[in-house]
Structure 1
Amino acid sequence: MNTVLILGASRGLGLGLAAEYLARGWNVIGTIREGSPGGLPDLACDRLTIETVDVTDQAQIDALRTRLEGTAVDLLFVNAGITNANVPVAEVPTEEFVDVMVTNVLSPMRAVEALDDLVPPTGTIAVMSSRQGSITRNTNAGYEVYRASKSALNQLMRSYSVRHAADPRTFLLVDPGHARTELGGPGAVRTVEQAVPPVVDTVEKRAGQGGLHFVDYEDRIVPW
């Protein structure tokens, strides 16, 4: 029975991922923030473990790593992300810029570095990215800081994969498409229930391939 560790599983796509992997028979370890359990407790079963972790707090990530000592995680899926107002970057307050970058870039990479040794050589490390992180596809601007954060996340995952060039594990940057979440907004075409299964299918298809891949939910390569 495979085990997935999902960082950020209280709501939205993270909660959808937890539900989907449970439905597929996986053991799921899902993290929530203190005071913000979201819907994860509603999925309670003997294959679900809930951990309280703020992904932006390095001490809490390190404590999670200690608690999971001896646990083999076939898939580490880091699903952390926030956005901000759709304004040009020069209008964004410094504190807001830093908050987006710490949450969307620095914290996911710190989590990957801290938890990657739980993932065996046959495993996968996936990070939720976005097509908005593609520089090639930026033809209409908008949400500039969010775009920049996803581009930076992609770049740092690229650096991570280069440092681990001899690593047989598979590294994924996943674009889930536009889904109806708090981040995606109510105008998105697809619900979480529609968006998540193709993401899981894509991750499963890529398992065992090795190397770094930036792909969308239909397993199509996304240009950098």
Structure 2
Amino acid sequence: MSKTALVIGASRTLGLAVAAELHRRGWHVIGTVRGEQRTGLHDLAGDRLEVEHLDVTEEQQIHALHDRLAGRSLDLLFVNAGIAHADVPAGEVTTESFTQVMVTNALSPLRVVETLGPLVTETGTIAVMSSKQGSLALNTNGGHEVYRASKSALNQLMRSYAARAAGSRTLLLLNPGWVRTGLGGPGALLDVDESVPGVVDAVESRAGEKGLHFVDYQNQVVPW
């Protein structure tokens, strides 16, 4: 029997590619999209791939998804969520913009983990898409201050979750590299198809390693 993965935020680019790569490798995939518009994920729907709906910033929708999936067991919960606003110093960012980035990139993924994590088997994996820019040690050039802060906050929240939810599950924070997406921009170093197979390799190879690990698409440890 194939393993089952729930991929949150699978409508396009990295999330869609992760869902597609898992499906290609024989996983049964449940992918989520926002809204009712047709997406690339819908084009893959069929044998071993289901489409669900979720806006991660709407807490009640997270609980509703949990209720719809109740009774099912997941081998992998993969959470992909991230936005970035203008690349300006933090003091120039509006409170509304700061709040939106923090809620989307840090608070909402942890709400997903807290609510849907119990569906993951005791030996399964919970993986969250982070970023090298969330590393304090690697921030030598500055820039993208609020985005960096949101990913650092995400990492810290996952640290706290790991401390509270100590068990046999594998917990991963994943850096996909600098990828040419709407978020990464056209000048990024990697194509999606250069990043995502490595991300999935890291997920599969780290399975069974309990505790929290911050690694990149080459399965190399990223410094905190």
Pairwise TM-score range, normalised by the shorter structure: over 0.9
Q: Which residue of 1 aligns with 2:163?
A: 162
Query: How many Å separate the matches in 1 of 2:46 and 2:181?
Result: 25
1:47-196 paired onto structure 2 within 5 Å = 47-165=48-166, 167-196=167-196
Q: Does the CA-based 8 Å contact 1:170-1:209 persist in structure 2?
A: yes
Deviation track 1:132-179 (CA, whole Å, cap 9, x = no partner) reads 0000000000000000000000000000000122x1000000000011
Question: Unpaired segments of 5 or more residues in structure 1?
Answer: none
Query: How many Å separate the matches in 2 of 1:221 and 1:195?
Result: 16
Query: How many Å separate the matches in 1 of 2:145 and 2:37?
Result: 28
How far off is 1:114 after superposition? 0.3
Query: How many Å separate the matches in 1 of 2:188 and 2:39?
Result: 21
Query: How many Å separate the matches in 1 of 2:10 and 2:24?
Result: 15
TM-score by length of 1: 0.98
CA RMSD of aligned residues (A): 0.8
Pair 1:211 & 2:216 matched: no
Q: Sort the Cα spacing of 1:95 and 1:153 in 2 relative to 1 into closer, same or farther, 3 A.
A: same
Query: How many Å separate the matches in 2 of 1:13 and 1:154?
Result: 19
How far off is 1:45 after superposition? 2.0
How far off is 1:122 after superposition? 1.0
Deviation track 1:77-96 (CA, whole Å, cap 9, x = no partner) reads 00010011110000001100
Query: How many Å separate the matches in 1 of 2:5 and 2:38?
Result: 18
Q: Tell me, what secondary structure is at the counterpart of 2:173?
A: strand
Query: How many Å separate the matches in 2 of 1:94 and 1:37?
Result: 33
Q: Tell me, what secondary structure is at the counterpart of 1:180?
A: coil
Query: How many Å separate the matches in 2 of 1:198 and 1:37?
Result: 27
For this pair of structures, how many residues does the alignment match? 223
TM-score by length of 2: 0.98
How far off is 1:36 after superposition? 4.3
Q: Does the CA-based 8 Å contact 1:10-1:36 persist in structure 2?
A: no
Query: How many Å separate the matches in 2 of 1:122 and 1:105?
Result: 25
Q: Tell me, what secondary structure is at the counterpart of 1:142?
A: coil
Query: How many Å separate the matches in 2 of 1:220 and 1:58?
Result: 33
Query: How many Å separate the matches in 1 of 2:7 and 2:104?
Result: 16
Q: Does the CA-based 8 Å contact 1:5-1:28 persist in structure 2?
A: yes
Q: Tell me, what secondary structure is at the counterpart of 2:26?
A: coil
For residue 123 of structure 1, what is the amino acid of its counterpart? G
Query: How many Å separate the matches in 1 of 2:52 and 2:162?
Result: 27
Q: Which residue of 1 aligns with 2:5?
A: 4
How far off is 1:11 after superposition? 0.5
Q: Among all aligned residue pairs of Structure 1 and Structure 2, give the percentage whose two residues are the same amino acid.
A: 63
Q: Sort the Cα spacing of 1:37 and 1:96 in 2 relative to 1 into closer, same or farther, 3 A.
A: farther
Deviation track 1:27-79 (CA, whole Å, cap 9, x = no partner) reads 00000001344311111222111001101101100000000011111000000
Deviation track 1:96-146 (CA, whole Å, cap 9, x = no partner) reads 000000000010000000001100111000000000000000000000000
Query: How many Å separate the matches in 1 of 2:38 and 2:13?
Result: 12
Q: Does the CA-based 8 Å contact 1:31-1:51 persist in structure 2?
A: yes
Q: Once superposed, which parts of structure 1, at least 4 consecutive aligned residues long, lie more than 3 Å away?
A: none
Query: How many Å separate the matches in 2 of 1:36 and 1:72?
Result: 28
For residue 109 of structure 1, what is the amino acid of its counterpart? L
For residue 63 of structure 2, what is the amino acid of its counterpart? D
